[in-house]
């Protein structure tokens, strides 16, 4: 995607949607040839992006999510940062929102360090170099040097790609003035599935890039193991102390927000769902860490 409109192109990877998306894209492409439909029979992000990349002609490449809103100057600002020599990829700060009370509680939890750990593009409004950022704009030469998205990964494919990007010496810059509004899942069941999958595929990512392991990846799994050991409290009541500390922290960080009370109260439930889902998925995916 370039700075002037003539050089822009929008490639939409469709995984067999039945909601009229294909028809709308094809209709729009007749008006604007810069818009093109890319068939993605595998239906997953990695395969869709890789197919679109093969057709893309621009110097700058961006993988854009459909559940987000972007400021008008998002791409031009990111490209200007890259062309200045400050970085090889750039992105904005993720402002997470919900469309329901539960959705807003989920958004608040996913914006909290207690909820997602040290994830700067979710929790820290500061211009800084980062290991990863959502919806980044990349210099095309990055893909030509480190390769495309790993099609073995259904989730966390951007994390794995960013590990390779960093290992190759490329720099990624977060621009906090660019706020991307991302709409989160609106129910606990959808949140559980999302974070279970994040946890499930993280060991596979770590097998490919072992230097990517962080303490925050392990804590939810250790928490799940602790919960499974709670029957020990029958003999040792003090074994309940860590659970009490965890619940106190969940209450504290829920009350710390400026959200309305209905949102804060729901956050106290969202935190454990988020952590248990990720931890359970991580434990389930652990065998992949030693897979040849």
The pLDDT value given to residue 3: 36
Coil, strand, or helix at residue 54? helix
Residue 227 above 90 pLDDT?
A: yes
Sign of CA dihedral 102, 104, 110, 115: negative
Average pLDDT of the segment spanning 224-249: 95
Q: Give 64-114 pLDDT, tens digit per residue.
A: 877 889 999 999 999 999 999 999 999 999 999 999 999 999 999 999 999
Condensed to tens digits (0 to 9), the pLDDT of residues 135-191 reads 999 999 999 999 999 888 888 888 889 989 998 999 999 999 999 999 999 999 999
Contacts of 63 (CB under 8 A, 6+ apart): 45, 49, 135, 136, 158
Section 2-25 average pLDDT: 72
Ranges of H-type helices in the chain = 21-31, 45-55, 74-83, 101-110, 113-116, 120-123, 140-146, 157-167, 188-208, 215-228, 241-256, 261-285
**2 has pLDDT over 60:** no
């Amino acid at each position: 995607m370039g700075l002037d409109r003539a050089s822009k192109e929008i490639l939409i990877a469709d995984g067999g949607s039945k909601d009229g998306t294909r028809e709308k894209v094809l209709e729009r492409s007749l008006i604007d040839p810069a818009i093109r439909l890319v068939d993605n029979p595998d239906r997953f992000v990695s395969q869709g992006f890789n197919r679109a990349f093969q057709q893309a002609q621009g110097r700058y490449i961006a993988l854009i999510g459909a559940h987000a809103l972007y400021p008008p100057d998002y791409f031009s600002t990111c490209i200007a940062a890259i062309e200045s020599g400050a970085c090889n990829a750039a992105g904005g700060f993720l402002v997470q929102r919900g469309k329901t009370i539960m959705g807003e509680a989920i958004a608040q939890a996913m914006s909290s360090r207690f909820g997602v750990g040290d994830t700067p593009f979710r929790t820290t409004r500061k211009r800084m170099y980062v290991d990863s950022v959502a919806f980044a704009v990349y210099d095309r030469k990055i893909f030509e040097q480190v390769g495309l998205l790993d099609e073995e990964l259904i989730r966390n494919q951007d994390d794995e790609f960013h590990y390779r990007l960093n290992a190759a010496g490329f720099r990624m810059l977060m621009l906090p003035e660019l706020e991307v509004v991302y709409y989160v899942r609106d129910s606990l069941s959808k949140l559980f599935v999302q974070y279970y999958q994040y946890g499930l595929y993280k060991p596979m990512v770590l097998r490919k890039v072992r230097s990517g392991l962080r303490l925050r990846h392990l804590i939810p799994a250790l928490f799940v193991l602790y919960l499974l050991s709670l029957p020990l409290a029958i003999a040792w009541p003090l074994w309940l102390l860590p659970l009490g500390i965890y619940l106190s922290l969940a209450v504290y960080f829920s009350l710390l927000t400026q959200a309305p009370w209905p949102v804060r109260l729901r956050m106290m439930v969202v935190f454990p769902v988020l952590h248990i889902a990720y931890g359970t998925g991580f434990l389930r995916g652990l065998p992949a860490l030693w897979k040849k």
